[in-house]
Amino acid sequence: MLETIVGVLNDVVWSKPLVYGLLATGIIFSLMLRFFQVRHIKEMVRLMFHGEKSPKGISSFQAIALSLAGRVGTGNIVGVSTAIFIGGPGALFWMWATAFLGASTAFIESSLGQIYKREEKGEYRGGPAYYMEYGIKGGLGKVLGITFAIITIISMGLLLPGVQANAIASGFHNAWGIPYWIIGVVLAILLALIVFGGLRSIANVATAIVPFMAILYILMAVVVIAMNIKEVPDLFVLIFKSAFNLEASFGGILGAMIEIGVKRGLYSNEAGQGTGPHAAAAAEVSHPAKQGLVQSFSVYIDTLFVCTATGLIILLSGTYNTTNGETDGNGMPSLLYNGDVYVQSVDGTKDYSGTAMYVQAGIDKAFAGADYVFDPSYSGFGSYFVAIALFFFAFTTILAYSYMGETNVAYLTRNMSEKTSKFAMNIMRTMLIFATVFGTIRTAELAWDLGDLGVGAMAWLNIIGIWILFKPAVNSLRDYEKQMKEKGSGKYALYTPDPAKLPEAKFWLEDYPERLRESGEIDSFNPKLDKK
């Protein structure tokens, strides 16, 4: 009964209005921001490596590492495989398009996270719950903020960690036969050592792991491309022809292709879902637009780099299947393209749908060449690599879940004593660890559905919030561009909002100016003095 209810709710939450609404939002914001995602790529990269630091905030690089920890997860492997299964090679193009447009949505929500952030008990805190309450006038903002915070805590602390943990456990068990419970115990110990250390501990680990995991994964794709270099031009022709229904082999699935490409693109890079602003608000910057630009680039890294790496490994090796959406007389999917790759269960049932096996088989085939024969039970280099990739991707995602849950606990307890807030924080962290351990042993389909429902609800609430509040974020980019032109570099940009227009931007009106005066850093934003 519960499964049916959750399934119906998921169909409503993740319906076409949300998928295409997020896409339309990206288009409109891109127009408003004059396609900054093209004009300011150089500035995005510069800001990523040249951020400020303070005892109360994290650097821009730590912030992008923390947000990427949440964006880059099992969806970058399984999600891409599923997109190709449902939409064929053309789905990859629509994931690219979604990332390009979603960068504008990421800018808006991340800039708002900075504009309305607060200093809570010695740390910077912000995100959708904060900008909803402080930015939207009347009781609506508070209701939206509290609702968002509760949904986020339940989703990030209880429902989603087990899904990521199960992917780690399955990968290690398939590759080396390690019992699931041992993996669960190891994950619990690692998480306890990190998450109870708070924001800085999580950010430091994410900064160390995320660049390494992304580079390693992309390098594997480069190796596969090099091995199949002659086929690359034809592959890109196939992707573009399929994307516009011009490839006969994949004809008739254009609607499914666009929908799954957009949905998986959004699900992977999370632009508009309200997750990125949590890390963005924790960063120490002199102007909100700086973190908006950095977080926009994280969308590119997630989809244009990591998801593309997955797609190229799969498509170049031909280790994928694409369905026309129908089933045969035996209940098996009817395939437009059959790469003869599947996962075989204990009872002998074959699962041809998009799974991590697509990537595993793709890597094995790339190294074995013409001698390759697919065997679902074979544990070779592909299974080892996928297991390690899933560990890094999923483990850092769980860390990001912890921080997002922690931020929303801080929001709900911000007017309580520090002792009460810390107690609530530790309950959430403990809950996350138990959910992770349970997920390694057993992750029910219901947990996936409930997690999807929670994330979808977050997206709906966040989209409502950013459409009400987008103007300050748009104005912040205009102000930043103006200062770049006047001062010769964004390095000297300093955000000074109008108290009459943004009375709730308390951090920028009171806290930050006071800190600059006390530290004597105010002169560092004058390029003439800096040159002396």
Contact 291, 63 (CB under 8 A): yes
pLDDT per position as a tens digit, 356-409: 899 999 999 988 877 888 888 888 888 999 999 999 989 999 999 999 999 999
Alpha-carbon distance 443 to 163, whole Å? 6
Query: What's the 3-state SS for 112-145?
Result: HHHHCCEEECCEEECCHHHHHHHHCCCHHHHHHH
Alpha-carbon distance 37 to 330, whole Å? 48
pLDDT of residue 150: 94
At 34, list the tokens.
């004059």
pLDDT of residue 529: 57
Amino acid identity for residue 187 in this structure: L
pLDDT of residue 44: 93
Point out the residues of the chain with pLDDT beneath 70: 1-2, 51-57, 329-330, 443-448, 523, 528-532
Instruction: Supply the Cα-derived Rg of the chain in whole angstroms.
Output: 23
**Per-position DSSP letters for 369-435, written without gaps between them:** GGG----TT--SHHHHHHHHHHHHHHHHHHHHHHHHHHHHHHHHTTTS-HHHHHHHHHHHHHHHHHH
- What 3-state DSSP class applies to 325? strand
Alpha-carbon distance 155 to 450, whole Å? 8
Count of C-beta atoms within a 10 Å radius of residue 82: 20
User: What is the value of pTM for the model shown?
Assistant: 0.92
Query: What's the 3-state SS for 12-63?
Result: HHCCHHHHHHHHHHHHHHHHHCCCHHHHCHHHHHHHHHCCCCECCEECHHHH
pLDDT of residue 532: 44
